[in-house]
Structure 1
């Protein structure tokens, strides 16, 4: 299978018309701030209802860091939301494998759903404190390694600084 097109967009992940949008969720799956809050607000109550069902059935203690699960996308222009919990950055401990797992497990979920196009935020680089340049390095490397078979994998970056950090890791033609 050919490798996917990897694209960068500066904008709002809740406006992406793709098969699946990845949510940088917190472990509760019940919404929060940043990307998580925006997806829950714009997607509406159907997302929260499915997240509550997941909590009740499988994730009573919350979704573990580095794993991913999917729900409907509600009112978003996508078909599904893939929720993944990124690691909090720690200077004293290398958690890079957990961050890479977020992207890898999100792609696994997307494959199981039959998604051909996926939009990712910059997982863990906001309130979880992951240094942006390193987060971009891990994200781009993991998606390149694990993204075979998709039509498009899109990084949706909220601001120019984030877009530039990802662009430095992904030279565009």
Structure 2
């Protein structure tokens, strides 16, 4: 997979149908960008609509080893995800302040 791609794997013993992976970097701990995060979010919306997915849990993409600013990513999440009315996105992160910003 390339940055900006989306792929799905099984969920193992988790109580979900699958896990959607959003690729934010070419290699683990590699570089990423706000444009790649945007592309991932846009592909996620399209994928959810095409497959009838109504609920998605989503972490703070690119803010860990990717090094992106959480405030800017939160703003990007709001910009891209807020207008979407047919899919519920639940933001999860160990940083409560990020969740509150979204």
Q: Shorter-chain TM-score: which interval?
A: 0.7 to 0.9
Larger Rg: 1
2:70·2:98 contact (CA, 8 Å) conserved in 1? yes
Extract structure 1 runs of 4+ deviating beyond 6 A. none
TM-score w.r.t. the length of structure 1 is 0.51
Q: Kindly state the Cα deviation for residue 101 of structure 1 after the two structures are TM-superposed.
A: 1.0
What per-residue deviation string (whole Å, max 9, x for no partner) do you get for residues 48-101 of structure 1? Answer: xxxxxxxxxxxxxxx111121222222112212111111424xxxxx3221111
The residue number in structure 2 matching 1:44 is none
Higher RCO (CA 8 Å, separation ≥ 6 residues)? 1
Q: What are structure 2's unaligned runs of at least 5 residues?
A: 26-30
1:84·1:102 contact (CA, 8 Å) conserved in 2? yes
Q: Kindly state the Cα deviation for residue 113 of structure 1 after the two structures are TM-superposed.
A: 2.2
The residue number in structure 2 matching 1:153 is 89
CA-based RMSD: 1.7
Q: What are structure 1's unaligned runs of at least 5 residues?
A: 1-62, 90-94
Higher helix share: 1
TM-score w.r.t. the length of structure 2 is 0.81
